Amino acid sequence: MRQPSVISRRAAAAAAVLAVVAGAAACGPEDSKADGSGSGAPGKPQKGGTLTVLNSRPQSDFDPARLYTSGGGNVPSLVFRTLTTRNREDGAAGAKVVPDLATDLGTPSKNATVWTYTLKDGLKFEDGTPITSADIKYGIERSFAAELSGGAPYLRDWLIGGADYQGPYKDKKGLDSIETPDAKTIVFHLNKPEGEFPFLATQTQTTPVPKAADTGTKYEEHPISSGPYKVVKNEGDGERLVLERNPHWSADTDEERKAYPDRIDVRSGLDSAVINQRLSASRGADAAAVTTDTNLGPAELAKVTGDTKLADRVGTGHFGYTNYIAFNPKVKPFDNPKVRQAIAYAVDRSSVVNAAGGSSLAEPATTFLPEQAAFGHTPYDHFPAGKSGDPAKARELLKEAGHAKGLTVTLTHSNDKDFATSPEIATAIQEALKKAGITVRLQGLEDNAYSDTIHDVKSEPGFFLAGWGADWPSGGPFFAPVFDGRQIVEDGYNFNSGLLDDPAVNREIDEINKLTDLEAAAKRWGALDRKVGEQALTVPLFHPVYKRLYGEAVKNVVISDWTGVLDVSQVAVK
């Protein structure tokens, strides 16, 4: 997934957009409760009341074909159920995948190239009609239509025939690689082994859509619910979204969603400062309010920390994301590994962390994979420079590289101060490298120009700021798009900034993808990260830490390491 300004693996996924641009929240040890009841206002959660969601970005394109499950701060998962889903628990436990519409995580065969799912009994749409495997097949097929683009690209890449399929509006025959032998069975035929298919099955493309109710691009106005809530109002393309109970949803078929409130009112397009002020004051309806896309900034956090009551209403945690320096080794002098290593030694991570908002909002990183077990994180620091850099070691390497008198380079970054590729981060790097004899010229670009420049092989600079987040909590979608040589895109958005095409790395990626034992796969992703890290194609800088306020009447706050966003499916307001 992701640079924060683009969508999906070839563009940034919505979850990363929310997590990095605005900051997301996940419960850390200080917020989680050992009994699994979540944090928040005291008292046992009860059904009833209205939950208000105050967001800065609209919940636009509210169509399962155009979303990620984790997108929109979990709001879509209130309406759209999928074959599998994330475990709705605090912290690391929430990084696990669990069944949703399906009875289990799927049965693999033929070396994980065929996956079979069986649906639970008693599943119904909001109008009371049964949900069938044909509805899921159709929901997936319509996501291939050009007019419904924007969602995750994996099914197009993984399904046999997916690359050429144009969706049911143009091709009435459908995808032969998805079979529905009966109303409760669905079988997927993949063009290569994919042991992580249960994670992919959490994407909203596996949401059932009744063919008779499909209205194409207008479906977002009233999508047919398979979850605990149905859409009763969608104004301004998601600026105001009102959800009420789906009377045909049964908790007996859904172990993950608590569905406490009677009504959920999502109000978007608000200024972030206004959102935090309203949550802080918690007056009237705002006492029962949360945000799924607005972080506390350094100044706001300082005020909150000094107020015990407010501090008790802050969720703290992590979403799998790494901010880093990227090199294009096709551009001189970055074709010389010693130059890249010198920069890695020269970086002052303390100053970078301060520029990102301080240690409360950022943690220094030396590995590409995030520091969560689900990703296979394996600690390493191939270029140990301490907290504030090692300019002497950097100068030594520059001399070996033929630059004894120093070096002048250009660092490309975004001018958007909300991005972790901001001028403040760039300036911190500039000042640190100066101590090592490296003069850094800063090239700040407006957001669209920045994204287009760094993701085009023809225009990619040699030295720029970047970030990457997880489509799901695993090393696969985090590591492969940036380091798999077969994912280099010559004529579109490219994320393999180092243009690495190492046959040994590519083979190991394929071998890991065959594994259905996710813990074993995680260990191998960590080992591969350590191996590739030796090439200094990236310099990891920091992992973001997220801080979010919620209203004083909000109960059962559960925020997992999967999305890093307060889970609205668990919240109670009574």
Map out the domains of the chain with their CATH numbers. 14-266 (3.40.190.10), 321-544 (3.10.105.10)
Contact indicator for 288, 279 with CB cutoff of 8 Å: no
Q: What would the two tokens of residue 95 be?
A: 């990084």
Q: Residues 243, 246, 247, 250: is their CA dihedral positive or negative?
A: negative
Cβ neighbours of 285 (radius 10 Å)? 18
Q: What is the DSSP letter of 22?
A: I
Q: Collect all residues with Cβ–Cβ distance below 8 Å to 317 and sequence separation of at least 6.
A: 25, 26, 27, 28, 31, 91, 545, 546, 559, 561, 564
Task: Tell me phi and psi for residue 253, to 5 degrees.
Answer: -100, 0
pLDDT tens string, the chain, 574 residues long: the values are 443 333 233 333 333 333 333 333 333 333 334 333 468 888 899 999 999 999 998 988 999 999 976 555 689 999 999 999 999 999 999 999 999 999 999 999 989 999 999 999 999 999 999 999 999 999 999 999 999 988 888 999 999 999 999 999 998 889 999 999 999 999 999 999 999 999 999 999 999 999 999 999 999 999 999 999 999 999 998 999 999 999 999 999 999 999 999 999 999 999 999 999 999 999 999 999 999 989 898 889 988 988 999 999 998 878 899 999 999 999 999 999 999 999 999 999 999 999 999 999 999 999 999 999 999 999 999 999 998 999 999 999 999 999 999 999 999 999 987 666 689 999 999 999 999 999 999 999 998 899 999 999 999 999 999 999 988 999 999 999 999 999 999 988 899 999 999 999 999 999 999 999 999 999 999 999 999 999 999 999 999 988 899 999 999 999 889 988 889 999 999 9
Q: Residues 272, 60, 544, 502: is their CA dihedral positive or negative?
A: negative
